[in-house]
Structure 1
């Protein structure tokens, strides 16, 4: 499909641009070497989203709702998570010319960026967008209109990326919301995703066979839980590191044993 080719080209270009930026960053002696693991995360993320927009899986997704849902997990959840872990904005700030880096930093600090990356806004764009896709006629329209197909897939990816970035801070953000606040919003978002999967199980989009709907609902429910569990683990790990006591060299280190003597 034309839409698949366009999306494939965009994501493939993103892969090469990232790798080029990583190589360029490593040539600057005053900067630490860019971690190889981040480049691997980016490559794996691109592979995930590419498999959802072009190739055998993408072709099968047009006629089988079960495969469509697998693509949804790759495009809107797993791919964005891996790409967020790659810290692309940080890499850009390291490699762009000074003036361009300042403009990017200004954009990242803008009110618009702050609004989009707010945990509640990101949740509404992501989970709310999925409700609109599957609870209305938008899914049926997407299958028969190349433009709508492209826009929906772009939204699913971008909303998934912003959603992930709004809860686990890897790149610079406008405002760092507290861990408790982010955790509470994340739990509500998870509930919205779980309820939607159950809704699809019982009330699939028009024209979807019941068997495919049930399987797709289970894939969305359990597959989404696996990816969400990874996000929860990362969030809790960041929370633990932020709250872990730090002892300054030379200061006395008190322990339970001292108070139990």
Structure 2
């Protein structure tokens, strides 16, 4: 299977680099010191995203399904979580002109964002993307079409960012339900990824044209890597809850 890189991959990496530089510049010009941990987390997210988009250092060829799974984990789970914990919206609000800040505030209060930023919607978008990729011919098609491959990455990045933001992000979000409900939603995501990885290992229902060794290796990566990413998200949620409790005490 000829898994070609997208011809626009360089532009995507350039966009990641620009985002990192803009974040660093905003943190520098801000009147009050910006928490260095936020900067480290956001830049780590950019590095993880760049690594997921350039899989050449990985021990398997680009066409190997295990390579794809590492990309999926980096682009769709680990990088979004680190980017979200960098609180880029809060940073933007702190340096933007007042008029721009009011516009961002109106957007955060808009009806469409109230729908998009609900954890149930975010969960649905995230799980439906994985379902479509691994249970339909979409994965095989993405290996033949670089533009489609790039769109798949973009979907997982945006859906992963949305899910991490509404579950445990430090940035303001509309309609964020109580912590117990967010934990239930996160538990559903963990159960889904666990079930998907087991089906993939057994070769049941999945539509992945890859040798059994590659498919099973990728399933193990999804099982353990997904658990790590979701446990980190749960830890971020509890840490945020503990800070909120301490401030209100």
| TM-score, scaled to structure 2 | 0.91
Pick 1 or 2: higher relative contact order, CA cutoff 8 A, min separation 6. Answer: 2
Instruction: Write out aligned runs for 1:42-81 (5 A).
Output: 42-57=42-57, 62-81=62-81
Task: Count matched residues.
Answer: 242
Q: Displacement, 1:97? A: 1.1
Question: Over aligned residues, Cα RMSD in angstroms?
Answer: 1.9
Residue matched to 2:183: 183
Distance 1:237 1:211, change over 3 A: same
Q: Which moved more, 1:137-146 or 1:201-210?
A: 201-210
Aligned counterpart for 2:12 among listed residues 1, 4, 7 = 7
Distance 1:37 1:143, change over 3 A: same
Q: Displacement, 1:244? A: 5.7
Find the residue that maps to 1:56 and give its secondary structure.
Answer: coil
The answer (yes or no) to whether the contact 1:142–1:152 under 8 Å persists in 2 is yes
Residue matched to 2:127: 127
Q: Which moved more, 1:163-172 or 1:197-206?
A: 197-206
Q: Displacement, 1:134? A: 0.9
Residue matched to 1:170: 170
The answer (yes or no) to whether the contact 1:69–1:220 under 8 Å persists in 2 is yes
Matched, 1:209 2:216: no
Q: Which moved more, 1:9-18 or 1:42-51?
A: 9-18
Within 1, Cα distance between the matches of 2:176 and 2:42? Answer: 24
Q: Could you tell me which runs of 5 or more consecutive residues in structure 2 were left unpaired when the two chains were aligned.
A: none
Residue matched to 1:115: 115
Q: Provide Cα deviations, 1:118-171, integer angstroms capped at 9, x if missing partner.
A: 111101111221111111111111111122111110011110010111110300
Distance 1:92 1:135, change over 3 A: same
Q: Displacement, 1:37? A: 1.2
The answer (yes or no) to whether the contact 1:77–1:224 under 8 Å persists in 2 is yes
Residue matched to 1:238: 240
Q: Which moved more, 1:202-211 or 1:37-46?
A: 202-211
Within 2, Cα distance between the matches of 1:122 and 1:99? Answer: 29
The answer (yes or no) to whether the contact 1:46–1:79 under 8 Å persists in 2 is yes
Within 1, Cα distance between the matches of 2:16 and 2:248? Answer: 42
Higher-Rg structure is 1
The answer (yes or no) to whether the contact 2:186–2:230 under 8 Å persists in 1 is no
The answer (yes or no) to whether the contact 1:80–1:160 under 8 Å persists in 2 is yes
Within 2, Cα distance between the matches of 1:124 and 1:58? Answer: 31
Find the residue that maps to 1:63 and give its secondary structure.
Answer: coil
